[in-house]
Structure 1
């Protein structure tokens, strides 16, 4: 195996690992505190905006 082939093989393995890790992170459930924060922000934006200026 030549150096170029080893480099290509290593790069391919890195690409596959990065894609796998990315997919795992994307599929993680959102923490409850973030869900709560998103709910608060959503209610502020639909609640007339009186608290949005804080």
Structure 2
């Protein structure tokens, strides 16, 4: 059964690392060039 415990521990470690990476990505700012592109798309959609 130690093999199952190792797999469980490994999965837990992977889950924690993925959550950490995802949370860090959410905290990052959107680059200025993407903001500019979004503004241009909104302007185009509104017919300006």
TM-score by length of 2: 0.89
RMSD: 1.4
Q: Which runs of 5+ in 1 are unaligned?
A: 49-54
Q: Which runs of 5+ in 2 are unaligned?
A: none
Partner of 1:4: 4
Kindly tell me the number of residue pairs found equivalent between the two proteins: 48
Structure having the higher Rg:
1
Higher RCO, 1 vs 2 (CA within 8 Å, ≥6 residues apart): 1
